[in-house]
A and B are shown apart, each in its own frame.
Chain A
Amino acid sequence: MPVARDALTETPLAIRIVARSAKWVILVLYLVIAITPLLWLTVSAFKTNLEIEIAPFSLPAVWQFRNFANAITISGLHQFFLNSIIVAVVATTLNLLVTSMASFVIAREEFALRELFFTATTAGVLIPIIAFMVPYYTLITHLHLFDRLWALIITYSAINIPISMFLVSSFMKSIPRELEDSAEIDGCSFVQRYWRIILPLARPGLVTAGTFSFIYCWNEFIYALLLTSSRSARTVQLAIRFFTSQFRTDYAGMFAAIVLTMIPTVAVYIFLHDKIISGLTAGAVKG
């Protein structure tokens, strides 16, 4: 950036040298701190248990790919992966469906309580959801959903309403009205306006909201712990909790299993990090 470079030339030489080297020291040091543990975990997942104990800093002599196969056999991770995928995909779909309907009405129609509805649903993000352990537990039990995937699907799609409402409705507000106006003249109904015109145009907003929802659902732990009890409804995050007792001293196997659980969200991040970062900043920087 020219501005930054000019700024530096205006600065005395000593300060310039200190600032420049301090800058890179901080950036690299923090990079090491933030990433080394993850690299160590990932590389260790390919080692033998002996190597983990006696050679913590070296690469594996032979990359033990079978650690991962063993990890799946020992932990039964494939079943919990399936549960987590079902929960994350269905909850995200449900969340996007209901919030896009409400956002469409908020962005396009005039009606009483419009502002209140929007403010209330989006302000929900400030509430510490953890405080609702007892109400969610009793609610889910009364609905006869305890220990079923539907318990998590409904809970997660509700918890993500505030963020999705904000992201999707602000995106829909930015879509020009002209298309709908001409479609309406052509006899397009209310539902068609939503389904055929606005929803396809709102895709970028839906992708951002969907990404946040998916990552949340995949990583959620507290309500998975509270609202399920058996293996049939166990998600990946809950499964991790049992690794310590399942793998005992097989640290390599345990690390391999943990690495496997990280793959979906890291993959989503690799493909969609621009969406995620712009979604985060949409709220932080106004006008």
Chain B
Amino acid sequence: MRNLSSKSNRNRKWIVLFLTPVGVLFVAFFLYPIVFVTILSFMEWNGIEPMSFIGIGNFRYLFADSVFRTSIQNNVIWALSAALLQIPLALVIALILAREPRGWRFFRTVYFLPNVISLVALAMMWTALYNPEFGLINHLLERVGADHMTRNWLGEIETALPALIFSYQIYIGYFMVIILAGTLSIPKSFYEAAMIDGANVFQQEVHITLPAIRGIIITAGTLAVAFALRQFETTFLMTAGGPANRTPVMGLYMYRRMAGLTYGRAAATGVLIIVLGIVVLSALQRVFGKADAVEDARQ
């Protein structure tokens, strides 16, 4: 016994030492920023002179600014289209692949490929695809005789935001992979029992698969919405918020406030991104039940 306790005392030093690097980085890059950004959101600060407390002045400024309201609205549109288009598409493809048709591993591997390419490169690629002169999309429309549909996709007010969202949400690889994994983990015996009862493929999907992967679908939806709130690169590089300030998102708005040395307003925007994320997460959990999003998101 004596031996054992002295050993654990000796180890205590090492335990502390081994946890310190992660601890320090976690405090510096996760805990301190939350506290700092929250405090700063109630301050006026240009980064040079001392901060001064202005209460909810920054938030009042944000909601009075029509560009910020457009930004929030655009984030909501991003989120809705993720929930209504991106996730259902990922779900359909995952359900097909879960039946393990010929070559399903190949499809899974190729479908996920764009997810390892940077958003920057993809944004440049899509800017070229949408290009009114040499872009592939207008070329395709001309080829099939739909010349009247060609347009300057990123330059026109009606098409700019949908074009941005499409270029990002067409890549479903990540959601497809987690939904597929969930579906593959359903015991095959469930389906055998259903077949004895004479259930066809669609009935099996509706009555067995969907209830079984409910939690993962909700997790995927929650993550898709969370990603929608973090948008930056696609908009920044493809339209920079234009045309006529129609496409900005909160991340871009925050970057602009920083560039303008109004750090308090930038921090207030950051706080709203975090708060909105928490609101959406808890709202989804209230509506659909607890999905263990925290567990699942920890990849």
Q: Is B216 in the interface zone, CB < 8 Å from A? A: yes
Tell me if B221 is interfacial: C-beta within 8 Å of chain A: no
A283 touches which one: B170, B195, B295 (CB < 8 A)? B295
Given contacts A109-B15, A222-B233, A283-B299, contact A262 B117 (CB under 8 A): yes
> B195 near A219 (CB under 8 angstroms)?
no
Instruction: Provide 20 A-B residue pairs closer than 8 Å at the C-beta atoms, listed in order of the A residue.
Output: A7-B195, A7-B201, A15-B202, A19-B201, A57-B143, A124-B26, A127-B274, A130-B254, A131-B271, A134-B37, A139-B32, A212-B299, A262-B118, A266-B113, A277-B108, A277-B112, A279-B299, A281-B177, A281-B178, A284-B177
Q: Which residues of B contact A133 (CB under 8 A)?
A: 254-255, 258, 266, 270
Q: A109-B11, A221-B118, A241-B120 are in contact. Are A10 and B195 (CB under 8 A)?
A: yes
Given A30-B111, A219-B119, CB of A10 within 8 Å of CB of B125: no
Residue of B nearest to A260 (CB): B121
- Contact at A130–B117, with CB atoms within 8 Å? no
Q: Is the CB of A34 within 8 A of B111?
A: yes
- Interface: A273 (CB within 8 A): yes
* Known contacts A109-B15, A276-B116, A285-B182, A163 near B108 by CB under 8 Å: no
Contacting pair A130 B298 (CB below 8 A):
no
Known A38-B114, A52-B134, A280-B174; judge A12-B237 contact (CB<8 A): no
Binds B, one of A70-78, A98-106, A175-183, A199-207: A98-106
A121 touches B22 (CB 8 A): yes
B163 at interface by CB-CB < 8 Å: no
Chain A residues near B (Cβ < 8 Å):
1, 3-4, 6-8, 10-12, 15-16, 19, 23-24, 26-27, 30-31, 33-38, 40-41, 52-53, 56-57, 97-99, 101-102, 104-105, 109, 111, 117, 120-139, 154-155, 157-159, 161-163, 165-167, 190-191, 194, 212, 215, 218-219, 221-222, 226, 237, 240-241, 243-244, 251, 254-255, 258, 261-262, 265-266, 268-269, 273, 276-277, 279-286
Total contacting residues, chain B, CB less than 8 A: 102
Q: Are B124 and A243 closer than 8 Å at their CB atoms?
A: yes
Q: How many angstroms between the C-alpha atoms of A8 and B40 in the bound complex? A: 61
Given the complex of chains A and B, what is the CA–CA distance between A166 and B192 in angstroms?
A: 35
> Does B290 belong to the interface (CB within 8 Å)?
no
Residue of A nearest to B204 (CB): A7
B33 within 8 A of A: yes
- From B110, B120, B254, B298, give the contact of A240 (CB < 8 A): B120
Q: Which residues of A contact B270 (CB under 8 A)?
A: 130-134
Q: Bound state CA distance, A111 and B259, in angstroms?
A: 45
* Contact of B18 with A102 in the complex, beta carbons under 8 Å: yes
B107 to chain A, nearest CB (A): 6
A15, B200: Cβ atoms closer than 8 Å: yes
Contacts of A15 in B (CB 8 A): 200-202
Contact across chains for B274 and A128 when beta carbons are under 8 A apart? yes
Give residues 101-158 of B contacting A (CB, 8 Å): 101, 107-114, 116-121, 124-126, 128-129, 133-134, 136, 139, 143
For the complex formed, measure the closest distance between the CB of B154 and the CB atoms of chain A, giving whole angstroms.
13
Interface locus among B65-73, B78-86, B224-232: B224-232
A139 and chain B: residue at smallest CB distance: B28
Q: Which of A4, A132, A137, A191 has the most CB of B within 10 A?
A: A132
Report A-chain residues with C-beta under 8 Å of the C-beta of B50: none
| Residues A53 and B177 in contact in the complex (CB < 8 Å), given A4-B100, A133-B255, A135-B36 | no
